[in-house]
Amino acid sequence: MGLFDKLFKKEETVIEVADNVVVAMCDGNFIPAKEIADPVFAEEMMGKTVAIEPTSNKIVSPVNGTLEVVFPTGHAFGVRATDGTAYLVHIGIDTVSLNGKGFKTLKNLGDTVKAGEIIVEVDFNEVEKAGYHKTTMLIITEPVEGKTYNYIDFGEVNKAQQINI
């Protein structure tokens, strides 16, 4: 990266958070599962689910951990948190049908990631133009036995803002 690149390119910085912190995957409106326009997610069939109606295109890791799943289409990824909890971030509803169009994955399977680190960039115009919802879900697919998972009140959130309590 040259001098001018450093001067004119805005760098994203990852804020250090504790291993027990869960952050918002993007800017937007934080909603409960029952408001998701897909019964699999709304009825929490895959696990405890919350979602964000995104207003930004950068999707970050919700926790410190390891990328255990990275779909080749870019529409979803899974992170194993340092406490053992498995989280799935699913970007949009039925977006697997786009076969990667509009999705750019920035990290790889097996990478160690920090909460707030960008994993996927999405062109939500492409997603909506194709007729899909951009709702981005956070699902606890493998909870740790005995651990409780609670979230802040629903409403507007900022990318990398703590959402668990």
Catalytic residues: 90
Nearest to 163 by CA among 137, 142, 126, 133: 137
Q: Is 9 exposed, middle or buried (0-12, 13-18, 19+ CB in 10 A)?
A: exposed
**Are 108 and 78 in contact, with CB atoms under 8 Å apart?**
no
Check residue 12 and give left, alpha or beta (phi > 0: left; psi -120 to 50: alpha): beta
